[in-house]
């Protein structure tokens, strides 16, 4: 009996040693797996063809519980783009009112930059505001200020229109965050050197920044997470992203954008570090293609009853770009 017990113990010890050896071997392989990517910033431009809407209609009006002129928030079209008044005078509209495109009046570079620095082109958090309504009011105030300026006064530091509206509303009706943001937006526009700086790019550009890559390989189930990458789109908002990888001799396959914990990334509104989840059988040089859908900012001027309004409309584009990566698996 003792002999059998002794043999059994020996077998158990051997099996335990084998298991530890396999785990250690796999751990060594994972930790000796190397990943590298080319250290460049890749960019690709989207399509410059833009459909123009000859007419748009008011589809939503929200009461902002504020005195005039910050009492209403107007949205137009299926995309619910925002509508702003270019005149401090009567700007009251009703649901269903139709506005026609003013082809002879283009949104200025100053107004375009104003939209570029505002929600929804950037997040509420980046604006330092809490709600969609606050962002709308800040932009409307800044537009009132810019629209009231002509000639040399365009670049003056005095905020006459904003201060006038602030006085009209009275202290109890003032949201300090909104007025401060409106001031900042105007400052950004009037301090930008439109003469000596490059022309503002109206074409959406996908930029994949590989300078942020730390060549990390993270074990996740039967996959690797490689990265991190940063990507962003100038002049637009990413609404969807599709990632594919291809390696010589293999069919193209889909990959997933995830965070460091392996959770799929679905919010593309802000620049953040992302990892690419790929199967472990991908080894060697591969191409990682980013395909994104982008809403491109395209402000336009519309008229109704001889009054001018500005719409921060968006047109959808698709852009693709790729980076190369190299994975070397240790033995």
Same domain flag for 62 and 173: yes
* Model pLDDT, residue 24: 40
- How far apart, in whole angstroms, are the C-alpha atoms of residue 143 and residue 135? 12
| CA distance between the termini of the chain | 44
Same domain flag for 108 and 255: no
* Model pLDDT, residue 194: 62
* Model pLDDT, residue 178: 92
In a domain, 260, yes or no: yes
Same domain flag for 181 and 69: yes
- How far apart, in whole angstroms, are the C-alpha atoms of residue 261 and residue 78? 36
Nearest residue to 53 (alpha-carbon basis) of 17, 94, 86, 83? 83
In a domain, 33, yes or no: no
| CATH value at residue 286 | 2.60.40
Please identify every stretch of the chain with a pLDDT value under 50, giving residue numbers as ranges: 2, 5, 12-13, 16, 18-32, 39-41, 48-51, 151-155
pTM of the model: 0.63
Q: How many CB atoms lie within 10 A of CB 80?
A: 10
Same domain flag for 172 and 208: no
* Model pLDDT, residue 50: 46
Q: Count of domains in the chain? A: 2
* DSSP H stretches of helix in the chain: 2-31, 109-116, 124-127, 132-147, 160-169, 176-190
68 φ/ψ angles, rounded to the nearest 5 degrees? -60, 140
- How far apart, in whole angstroms, are the C-alpha atoms of residue 165 and residue 141? 8
Residues with Cβ within 8 Å of 13's Cβ and at least 6 positions away in sequence, in order, are none
Same domain flag for 207 and 303: no
* Model pLDDT, residue 134: 94
- How far apart, in whole angstroms, are the C-alpha atoms of residue 128 and residue 135? 9
Same domain flag for 184 and 236: no
Same domain flag for 309 and 323: no
Same domain flag for 187 and 207: no
Residue 164: Cβ-neighbour burial (10 angstroms; 0-12, 13-18, 19+):
middle
* Model pLDDT, residue 44: 57
* Model pLDDT, residue 30: 38
In a domain, 13, yes or no: no
How many Cα atoms are found within 13 Å in the side-chain-facing hemisphere of 14? 6
- How far apart, in whole angstroms, are the C-alpha atoms of residue 282 and residue 262? 18
User: Which residues form the domain of 232?
Assistant: 40-47+203-298+316-328
In a domain, 4, yes or no: no
Same domain flag for 193 and 151: yes
* Model pLDDT, residue 92: 80
Q: Are 301 and 105 in contact (CB under 8 A)?
A: yes
């Amino acid at each position: 009996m003792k002999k059998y017990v002794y043999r059994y113990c020996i077998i158990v010890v051997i099996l335990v040693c084998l298991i530890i050896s396999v785990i250690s071997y796999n751990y060594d392989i994972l930790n000796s797996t190397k990943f590298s990517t080319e250290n460049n910033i890749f960019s690709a431009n989207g399509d410059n063809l833009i459909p123009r809407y000859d007419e748009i209609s008011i589809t939503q009006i929200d009461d902002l519980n504020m005195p005039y002129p910050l009492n209403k928030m107007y949205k137009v079209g299926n995309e619910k783009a925002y509508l702003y008044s270019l005149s401090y005078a009567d700007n009251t509209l009703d649901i269903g009112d139709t506005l026609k495109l003013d082809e002879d009046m283009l949104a200025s570079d100053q107004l375009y930059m104003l939209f570029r620095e505002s929600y929804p082109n950037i997040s509420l958090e980046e604006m330092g505001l809490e709600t969609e309504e606050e962002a709308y009011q800040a932009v409307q105030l800044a537009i009132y200020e810019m629209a009231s300026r002509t000639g040399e006064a365009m670049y003056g530091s005095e905020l006459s229109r904003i201060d006038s509206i602030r006085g009209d509303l009275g202290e109890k009706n003032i949201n300090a965050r909104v007025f401060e943001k409106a001031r900042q937006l105007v400052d950004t526009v009037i301090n930008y050197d439109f003469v000596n700086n490059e022309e503002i790019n109206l074409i959406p550009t996908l930029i994949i920044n590989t300078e942020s890559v730390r060549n990390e390989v993270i074990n996740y189930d039967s996959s690797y997470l490689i990265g991190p990458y940063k990507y962003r789109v100038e002049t637009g908002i990413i609404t969807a992203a599709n990632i594919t990888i291809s390696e010589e001799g293999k069919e193209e396959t889909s990959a997933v954008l995830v965070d460091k914990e392996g959770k799929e990334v679905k919010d593309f509104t802000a620049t953040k570090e992302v990892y690419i989840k790929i199967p472990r059988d991908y080894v060697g040089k591969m191409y990682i293609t980013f395909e994104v859908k982008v809403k491109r900012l395209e402000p336009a001027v519309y008229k109704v009853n001889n009054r001018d309004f500005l719409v921060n409309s968006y047109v959808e584009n698709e852009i693709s770009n790729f980076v190369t990566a190299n994975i070397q698996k240790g033995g």
